[in-house]
Amino acid sequence: MALHKGAGDDRRLSISPFVGTADPLGAMELAPPLHRLADGPVPAETAYQLIHDELMLDGNAKLNLATFVTTSMEVQATRLMTECLDKNMIDKDEYPQTAELERRCVAILADLWHAPAPDDAVGCSTTGSSEACMLAGLALKRRWMHRNAERYAAGARPNLVMGVNVQVCWEKFCTFWEVEARTVPMEGERFHLDAEQAVAQCDEDTIGVVGVLGSTFDGSYEPIAEICAALDDLHRRTGLDIPVHVDGASGAMVAPFLDPELVWDFRLPRVASINTSGHKYGLVYPGVGWVLWRDRDALPEELVFRVNYLGGEMPTFALNFSRPGAQVVAQYYTFLRLGRDGFRAVQGASREVATYLSDAIGKLDGFRLLTRGDELPVFAVTTADDVPFDVFDVSRRLRERGWQVPAYTFPANREDLSVLRVVCRNGFSRDLADLLLADLDRLLPELRRQPVPLKDLGVPARSGFHH
């Protein structure tokens, strides 16, 4: 299969005659257009082969160390998802057992995150953490509006405090729902929000503080307990009672199993809501996320809609309406399949690979570790000042061997710092880590023979930041 041009710029797909087993010549004459619908259909196997061949140009998921998203599941989970592809998550009257599995997942997460009453937990599935964060942010804003109705009516503008390292969905939330984003820049070797900086940004118009359990920039946990303690002190001193939302897109499915002594969740009374991505360290194919609130008071009633749909009335508070139930079923499968010990083993294996790999890279001449992968199984490394290559050169050369290791520049105030970030997920084994190290060891002598980093010669530095 190949692209070829027709008359003018009417590009078409070229079909091998062997695809048309009954009529090879007819298959060759099909040549469906690329950017408009063909006049007639093509055989199912032909359509499949056309798309299959194009998709071979995608990267190898096993070698993708850029993404946090799950890239492999067991065949039984895939089978369940296939069986549920036609189930609409919103239609709880028609698919009551899928809805029941969603409720069980919410209860499991509520128990895992120490909600006050897990069996009566308030939460829902979403299409991912971005939607979950939008819902949590809306709840924070509405609660602030209730407390400050007169000031809001008079024109007071709400704000949300967070580190500059937050995922871009928080910037979207602030833009979409007219909230001032008070982002704390990085400073020196502080690459995320801390308690002092969080409190310094708060005032009577602050709807909440976002703490990130697992920064996408370097894999580090923000000090949620310290931030809550500082806000408790602010409350005692000033009367300002500011809630915290924990963006646990990745860490909320790692810390409960590997860092059970770390207090970051609903054990802290100031934590009002938590989100996570089922399709990251929740070990499910994209896209599914989860958001939970401490109790019913934390989710304003006006955000809950009761819909009479296909024969039954149901409450809903997701942003999306129709969406697939397959990922929710797969999440319940993963919970059922692994249990606490299984999750501990899987996440522990990822962390062991991350610390092994970071230690090995840190010992190579020319690199400096920023984090070790001992919180999230994610670490960041930069190049030394005295080498003639930079992280973009390393990323570019590794890509020649199929490895996708993103290189990017940190945000304000550390735009001077460029790093490589390595995400170790389930399926990235110690053997693959050794292969990466071997390739890195093989290309380093060539990089050291460069006169200067390629960007100094006018070669664009390709950024590869992936949340």
Q: Where in the chain is the domain with CATH 3.90.1150.160?
A: 349-457
pLDDT band at 14 (very low <50, low <70, confident <90, very high): low
Rounded mean pLDDT of 12-36? 65
pLDDT band at 304 (very low <50, low <70, confident <90, very high): confident
Q: What is the pLDDT of residue 59?
A: 86
CATH 3.40.640.10 fits 75-335, yes or no: yes
The CATH architecture to which 349-457 belongs is: Alpha-Beta Complex (3.90)
How much is the pTM? 0.91
What are the pLDDT digits (tens) for 57-114? Answer: 988 888 999 999 999 999 999 999 999 999 888 777 778 899 889 999 999 999 999 9
What are the pLDDT digits (tens) for 361-374? Answer: 999 989 999 999 99
Burial class for 452, CB neighbours closer than 10 Å (0-12, 13-18, 19+): exposed
Q: Where in the chain is the domain with CATH 3.40.640.10?
A: 75-335
Point out the least confidently predicted range of 153-162, 276-285, 448-457.
Answer: 448-457
